[in-house]
Amino acid sequence: MVGPVADLADLASHVWYGRDGIAAIARVALTPASLLYGVVMRMRDSLYDRQLLSSYVLALPALSVGNLTVGGTGKTPVSSWIARRMQALGARPAIVLRGYGDDEPLVHSLLSPGVTVVTDADRVRGVAEAASRGADVAVLDDAFQHRRARRDADVVLVSAEQARADARLLPAGPYREAPSALGRASLLVVTRKTASLEEAADAASRMARRARNVPAAIVALALDAVHAWPPGGDGSPLDALAGAAVLAVAAVGEPAAFFAQLAAAGADVAPAAFPDHHAFTRAEAESLARRAERAVRGDGAARVVCTLKDAVKLGPLWPDLAPPLWYVSQRVTVEAGGDALNAIVARVLAARSQLNDTTGAARPS
């Protein structure tokens, strides 16, 4: 990683997941702050539960895709998968997200052609905007903690890789809420990248028990194909990277998982990790390109490979004469609990009949 923000992200990851004595001491030292954070979150939830804080009926039936932890669970690909599933069933879905940068809406547009994408920190207003643009159902990306927006279903993602760590609240751990918050969920989805199916199933069982046996599904997030930037065409099979030296660039929630997936595909990976949602500068793009050029001359990492989320930011900055920029697409595979996931989607789509009119006016509470 690069710079003080990256150093802080590295430090947080070490504190949350490290097994050495220093990490353990740091977690203990941060526990009082985590306890205070937990009290604040429980008070907030209690105010919503007792209707002392207002939540609002949305202009469209809505399904929220959220998580319990900070980043890295796969909300973007799963949200897009659900929107495409709704589209295939005849709906006109919109993806409504807060938008921490320009990358997320652009990625959604590339992953879900023909699906309306709306960016608004106020999800109530964002869904109204989606309705005005012709949508008849909304997928709320990263909205589990956004209780102001009253939706029809909550799909909550937990990473099998992150589930290995203790469920400590921020700042001592990566959890925004305790696992007991899954009691508000309609469906738990455990995603896996490098964890085995057995590890994911174990995580699903443990989490479901702590949340009154909420239904669970398991989704694999696998690397699929290698594409040259700009997007276009079907790309090359992932095994094209086998034996290749690769400069891997990632500014995502779990960069280590991306690097491990590339290595599992047979690539010789030189990692370049940046903080999640990092806004690349032209100087950084040129620095990465020079690093790749030196590697080409030295018969080294001739390929620069990143995630789609990073390609949409790096691509416009990439020097014309530099080695090509490549990105890897991701495949979403439902490995268990598919019936439960389909039932949730069907339930939300059925709520479209409650719309007051075709303009997407607010539904009765």
Dump pLDDT digits (tens) for 58-93: 999 999 999 999 878 999 999 999 999 999 999 999
Q: For helices 338-350 and 75-88, give the axis angle rounded to 10 degrees.
A: 60
Q: Domains of the chain, with CATH numbers?
A: 56-215+337-354 (3.40.50.300), 223-330 (3.40.50)
Task: List the binding residues.
Answer: 69-76
* pLDDT recorded at residue 333: 98
- Residues with Cβ < 8 Å from 211, sequence gap 6 or more? 179, 180, 181, 182, 183, 185, 188
Tens-place pLDDT, residues 156-205 = 999 998 886 678 999 999 999 998 899 999 999 999 999 999 999 999 99
Residue 1 is predicted with a pLDDT of: 46
| Per-residue pLDDT, 359 | 44
Q: Which of 96-105, 107-116, 124-133 has the lowest mean pLDDT?
A: 96-105
pLDDT at 364: 38
CA atoms within 13 A on the CB side of 67: 24
Q: Which two tokens stand for residue 83?
A: 């929107």
pLDDT for residue 360: 45
Binding-site sequence positions for ATP: 69-76
Element (H, E) at 16: helix 3-17
pLDDT, tens digit, 9 for 90 and up, residues 324-345: 999 999 999 999 999 999 999 9
Radius of gyration of the chain (CA): 21
